[in-house]
Amino acid sequence: MPTRATKRGDERTSLAGAYDVLICGASFAGLAVARELAGSSADVLIVDRYEIGERQTSACGIPTRWLEEMGLMEAERQRFDSLVIHTPHGDSRYRLPWTFSTFDYRTICTLLWADCDARFETAKVEGLISGAVNGSDAVAVETDRGVVSAPLVVDALGWRRVLAGPAGYQPPDAPLSRGLEVHPGGGAEDLEIWIDRRYVPAGYGWSFPAGKETRIGVGSFDPKFHVRETTELLAADLERDNVRYQGNWIPHKLRKGTGRDVFFAGDSAGHCLPLTAEGIRTALYFGMALGRELRCVVEGRQSREAAAAHYAEFNDSHERKFEWMLRVQKLVPRVPPRLLGPLIRVFGVKRFVDWSFRHYLAIAPPEFVREGRYLAFSQSVPTPASTSSGGSSS
């Protein structure tokens, strides 16, 4: 595990001060927000306990088109046009209607950061300080390097939702999945998943090749099921070494996008998709939507309250899709194992695969990147948020 980069000794100068925007968390969601604010001339501070790109948080798989649309192809490591699904009673290869890529975490973060003009500091965020700051509308956040305040504060800190205070999650009694993977050297050809109770009663195992290494892991929808032993079992079955572990809790329930005068994006808002645990694309997507709203505030085109209302509406407009995915997540473990193989083959019919994967991609479509990059969501994309909410920017 990398050591935390929070400044020590003489380097640990105070950060105390006031900014226009404070973004807590410099991974996918936080960097996506900051990128949308570039060129707005707002004074933006982004903080993370690690240096940017220092600590990989996932297997780093994403639909290729998202990398293309965001100009991040340099980070791509491998591309796949099919998915191999293994069950104890048979395997299937699904030809995908769009390709999926694995990428390098450090490179993608470096590329995202290169598009930002914010200031970055390493600091551990401890929580929100309640009450107004000197009678202003600023929100104060406690860090291990002092109190930082801004009228616009973003929590992109991951599943802990640190700035939500007592409303944060406590595993294992929370809607969280558990994921762990190892990163042995050596490549492979296929993107593969295992739906097999030998590895996990509710969830799946995966092998995501990424050029010179393969990311092999197990995710359990049941937070009480420990995945270390079976991650090692899957790696052993694939004759790979158990090296370079990385794991985390993965939220599988959409949460509110705003609260306590704070904006939440990515895992902190439960933006990771249930069933597939795909959370990078959605962290970028919701991060961009939020960044566009905040940009309108710093440019004086809408109030913080209007931005909060638009973003909350945008967030909630995805509730039905997230709930539907969660329903399937709960259903899959109930299917008797002997039916899984035949069912996987039936669902492998090309027309069904094309239909379901296209709908799945449309939950956070790649075109969103192009649509009004510097305009508020409510102005640029025809969705319920744009038709029902008034009082947006003029």
Ligand X SMILES: Cc1cc2nc3c(=O)[nH]c(=O)nc-3n(C[C@H](O)[C@H](O)[C@H](O)COP(=O)(O)OP(=O)(O)OC[C@H]3O[C@@H](n4cnc5c(N)ncnc54)[C@H](O)[C@@H]3O)c2cc1C
- Residues engaged in binding ligand X (CB under 6 A): 25-30, 48-50, 55, 57-62, 124-125, 156-158, 160, 162, 179-181, 217, 247-248, 250, 266-267, 272, 277-281, 283
- Which CB atom, from 272 or from 353, has the smaller least distance to ligand X? 272
DSSP code string of 240-279: ----S-EEEEEE-S---SEETTEEE-GGGGT-SPTTT---
- Distances in Å between the Cα of 200 and the Cα atoms of 176, 204, 215 are 15, 6, 17
Whole-number Å distance between alpha carbons of 251 and 169 = 9
Nearest to ligand X of 92, 122 (CB atom): 122
Helices H / strands E in the chain, number of each: 11, 18
Whether the bond into 88 is cis, omega within 30 of 0: no
Nearer to ligand X, 61 or 205 (CB): 61
Give the Cα separation of 122 and 255 in Å (integer): 27
Nearest approach, Cβ of 265 to ligand X (angstroms)? Answer: 7
For ligand X, give the closer residue by CB, 157 or 308.
157
Looking at the Cβ atoms of 7 and 124, the one nearer to ligand X is: 124
C-beta closer to ligand X: residue 137 or 241 = 241
Question: How many CA atoms are closer than 13 Å to the CA of 41, on its beta-carbon side?
Answer: 2
CA distance readout (Å), 250 to 26, 219, 267, 323:
17, 9, 7, 16
The least CB distance from residue 270 to ligand X, in Å, is 10
**What minimum distance in Å lies between the beta carbon of 381 and ligand X?**
21
Which distant-in-sequence residues (6+ apart) come within 8 Å of 305 by Cβ?
none
Residue nearest to ligand X as judged by C-beta position: 279
Give the containing element (helix H, strand E) for 24: strand 21-24
Per DSSP, 302 falls in state S
Q: For residues 392 and 102, what is the distance between their CA atoms, to the nearest angstrom?
A: 38
Of 138, 98, 122, residue with least CA distance to 25: 122
Nearest to ligand X of 151, 205 (CB atom): 205
CB of 300 to ligand X, least distance (A): 28
Q: How far is the CB of 338 from ligand X (least distance, A)?
A: 29
17-18 and 146-150 strand pairing? parallel
Q: How far apart (Å, rounded) are the C-alpha atoms in residues 236 and 214?
A: 13
Of the two residues 61 and 366, which places its CB atom closer to ligand X in the complex? 61
Cβ 342 to ligand X shortest distance, Å: 28
Q: Cα separation of 266 and 72, whole Å?
A: 19
In the complex with ligand X, which residue's Cβ is closer, 184 or 337?
Answer: 184
Q: What is the nearest approach in angstroms of ligand X to the Cβ of residue 382? A: 26
Smallest separation, CB 283 to ligand X (Å): 4
Question: Closest distance between ligand X and the C-beta of residue 264, in Å?
Answer: 9
Nearest approach in angstroms of CB 327 to ligand X is 20
Q: How far apart are CA 208 and CA 171, in angstroms?
A: 26
Q: Residue 142 is encoded by which pair of tokens?
A: 């406690």
Choose between 248 and 379: whose C-beta lies nearer to ligand X.
248
